[in-house]
């Protein structure tokens, strides 16, 4: 069956609660930050993409250190960069705001969450670490705003605007200390590859670059099913495959005609890519001895507007695609992928997607997050989470083990925005949907009006004994 979703009724509104911020000078050093200022690459690249910007955001796609949203109305640099935490009332609705994390140091472009830690990346080049909704530690790179974060055990992988993937490791002696353990590609591989002229490929502006290096911003990172491979998507129109055991770049695939905004590795050696060229492509990894190659199986979508985000549900049975027109398409996979329908809940571009359990979360340039519950092919909009003052750029979701009960699975949802804040939400998978809530509110209002009309005007009980 097919469900178009319809317009969602906004019943969770916490926009009036503004996070606290302190006014002061911006500090340039931080005792909690693990400084790794040396950079392993001997040449800084400042190439630009010639294609149009993907959707609503990132209009200045330069591999440089400036934020693409420097001139945005949300880029108010007043206030210092000390963290603040704004808690909200305890008696929350089933899907509601827990609080807001704010550190005045730039737009939030990336998030990653584990059981008790949250990592946030911004255009300040800093990665902040939060524990139990309090700032725990942080670390920083010498260049490149942080566009993607992904975690594997004690290692954290970050994708940057300068085209590099940096690898960080938690110190075994002090869990608050994160040290850089490497960069992809490694210096050793760069030197080895640079010897052979055949390892150079042409990139934009008639320049050449080693095929193992991204020549533009790294937009997305994804692990394969058994966590042996790392996939990186880039605005250079390619995706690359890295073997984690030795950090080698195994393959570079020229995938699209414009920036690749998302890559998702799924089950059965399947990989999905979405691009600013308006297409979603399906790739299959074919093994040949110790080597492999990715072959394109099909193009799922061709459209005028940019594909901005992809997500696969935990079982790998549904693929979701967000676009710059505010629509979410989805495909269902049994023996093959078939289009299941569209979800229409946003007025502006969908910028991020995250799937957990039977729930999909979609964040948008319209400053809202739609919560969708899937029941077979039917998707119901449970609620629209409001409160951000800027576009919602990234999402991370973890199960709330303390609050989850049999028949009521709950999630903690983190949303990063270009308003420089991260908001924390509590979401129940079995909350009443938005239409049910609207009907309940109308019934309550009707009942209140009816009760007031039938109540005795003299204040007596109306019963004569």
Distance (Å, whole) CA 77 – CA 198: 46
Residue of 318 and 11 predicted with greater confidence: 318
**pLDDT 10s digits, 109-143:** 999 999 889 999 998 889 999 998 899 999 988 88
Query: What is the average pLDDT across 386-409?
Result: 88
Domain of 392, in residue numbers: 303-450
Distance (Å, whole) CA 234 – CA 215: 8
**pLDDT 10s digits, 166-184:** 999 999 999 899 999 999 9
Query: What is the average pLDDT across 376-399?
Result: 95
Beta pairing partners, 117: 131
Beta-carbon contacts of 226 under 8 Å, excluding residues fewer than 6 positions away, are none
Whether residue 243 contacts residue 227, with contact meaning beta carbons closer than 8 Å, is answered with no
Of the spans 114-123, 226-235, 430-439, 452-461, which averages the highest pLDDT? 226-235
Handedness of CA 20, 26, 32, 34 (dihedral sign): positive
Whether residue 431 contacts residue 97, with contact meaning beta carbons closer than 8 Å, is answered with no
Strands 238-243 and 229-234, sheet pairing:
antiparallel
Whether residue 282 contacts residue 267, with contact meaning beta carbons closer than 8 Å, is answered with no
Query: What is the average pLDDT across 412-437?
Result: 86
Beta pairing partners, 262: 274
Q: Which of 205, 208, 161, 143 is nearest to 61 (CA)?
A: 161
Phi, psi of 439, rounded to the nearest 5 degrees: -65, -40
Of the spans 94-98, 116-120, 287-291, 332-336, which averages the highest pLDDT? 116-120
**Is 419 among the domain residues?**
yes
Tokens at 415, concatenated:
């949303």
Residue of 385 and 95 predicted with greater confidence: 385
- Quote the mean pLDDT of the chain: 80
The distance from CA 194 to its chain's CA centroid, rounded to whole angstroms, is: 34
Q: Which of 68, 323, 101, 73 is nearest to 216 (CA)?
A: 68
pLDDT value for 88: 43
**Is 330 among the domain residues?**
yes
**pLDDT 10s digits, 232-246:** 999 999 999 999 999
**Is 324 among the domain residues?**
yes
Share of the chain above pLDDT 90, in %: 60
Whether residue 80 contacts residue 376, with contact meaning beta carbons closer than 8 Å, is answered with no
How many Cβ atoms are within 10 Å of 253's Cβ, its own excluded?
A: 22
34-40 long-range CB contacts below 8 Å, 24 or more apart?
A: 34/137, 34/138, 34/139, 34/140, 34/177, 34/178, 34/179, 35/139, 35/140, 36/139, 36/140, 36/141, 36/142, 36/179, 36/180, 37/142, 38/142, 39/141, 39/142, 39/143, 40/183, 40/186, 40/187
Question: Residue 288's pLDDT band (boundaries 50, 70, 90)?
Answer: confident
pLDDT value for 289: 81
Residue 23 above 90 pLDDT? no
DSSP 315-383: TS-EEEEEETTSEEEEEEESSSEEEEEEEE--SS-EEEEEEETTEEEEEETTS-EEEEEEETTEEEEEE
Residue 93 above 70 pLDDT? no
> Of how many residues is the chain composed?
465
**Is 56 among the domain residues?**
no
**Is 109 among the domain residues?**
no
Whether residue 384 contacts residue 10, with contact meaning beta carbons closer than 8 Å, is answered with yes
**Is 445 among the domain residues?**
yes
**Is 227 among the domain residues?**
no
pLDDT value for 48: 30
Number of compact structural domains in the chain = 1
> Considering only 58-67, 244-253, 408-417, 423-432, which range has the smallest mean pLDDT?
58-67
**Is 202 among the domain residues?**
no
Residue of 462 and 235 predicted with greater confidence: 235
pLDDT value for 450: 64
Query: What is the average pLDDT across 185-209?
Result: 90
Question: Residue 446's pLDDT band (boundaries 50, 70, 90)?
Answer: low
> Considering only 10-19, 315-324, 406-415, which range has the smallest mean pLDDT?
10-19
We report the CATH number of the domain holding residue 445 as: 2.130.10.10
> Considering only 24-38, 118-132, 288-302, 365-379, which range has the smallest mean pLDDT?
24-38
pLDDT value for 334: 84
């Amino acid at each position: 069956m097919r469900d178009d979703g319809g317009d969602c009724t906004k019943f969770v509104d916490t926009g009036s609660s503004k996070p606290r911020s302190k006014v002061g000078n911006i500090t340039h050093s931080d005792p909690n930050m693990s400084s790794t200022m040396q950079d392993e690459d001997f040449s800084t690249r400042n190439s630009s993409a010639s294609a149009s910007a993907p959707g609503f955001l990132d209009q200045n796609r330069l591999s440089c250190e400036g934020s693409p949203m420097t001139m945005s109305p949300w880029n108010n640099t007043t206030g210092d960069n000390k963290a603040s935490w704004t808690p909200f009332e305890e008696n929350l609705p089933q899907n509601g705001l827990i609080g807001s994390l704010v550190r005045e140091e730039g737009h939030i472009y990336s998030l990653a969450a584990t059981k008790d830690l949250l990592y946030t990346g911004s255009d300040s080049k800093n990665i902040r670490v939060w524990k139990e909704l309090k700032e725990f530690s942080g670390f920083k790179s010498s260049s490149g705003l942080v566009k993607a974060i992904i975690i594997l055990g004690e290692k954290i992988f970050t994708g940057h605007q300068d085209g590099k993937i940096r690898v960080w490791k938690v110190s075994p002696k002090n869990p608050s200390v994160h040290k850089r353990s490497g960069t992809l590609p490694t210096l050793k591989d760069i030197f080895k590859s640079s010897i052979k002229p055949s390892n150079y490929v042409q990139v934009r502006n008639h320049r050449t670059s080693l095929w193992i290096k991204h020549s533009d911003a790294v937009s997305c990172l994804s692990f394969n099913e058994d966590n042996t491979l790392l996939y990186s998507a880039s605005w250079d129109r390619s995706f690359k495959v890295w073997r984690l055991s030795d950090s080698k770049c195994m393959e570079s695939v020229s995938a699209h005609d414009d920036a690749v905004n998302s890559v998702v590795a799924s089950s059965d050696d399947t990989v999905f890519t979405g691009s600013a060229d308006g297409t979603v492509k399906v790739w299959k990894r074919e093994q040949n001895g110790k080597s492999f190659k990715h072959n394109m199986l099909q193009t799922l979508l061709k459209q005028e507007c940019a594909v901005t985000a992809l997500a696969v549900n935990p079982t790998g049975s549904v693929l979701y695609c967000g676009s710059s027109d505010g629509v979410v398409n989805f495909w269902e996979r049994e023996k093959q992928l078939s289009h299941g329908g569209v979800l229409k809940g946003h007025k502006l571009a969908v910028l991020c997607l995250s799937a957990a359990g039977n729930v999909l979360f979609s964040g948008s340039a319209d400053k809202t997050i739609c919560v969708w519950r899937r029941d077979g092919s039917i998707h119901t909009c449970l609620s629209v989470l409001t409160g951000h003052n800027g576009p919602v750029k990234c999402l991370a979701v973890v199960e709330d083990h303390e609050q989850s009960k049999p028949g009521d699975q709950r999630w903690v949802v983190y949303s990063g925005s270009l308003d420089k804040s991260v908001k924390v939400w509590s979401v129940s998978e079995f909350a009443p949907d938005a239409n049910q809530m609207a009907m309940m509110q109308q019934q309550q209002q009707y009942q209140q009006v009816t009760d007031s009309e039938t109540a005795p005007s003299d204040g007596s009980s109306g019963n004569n004994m």
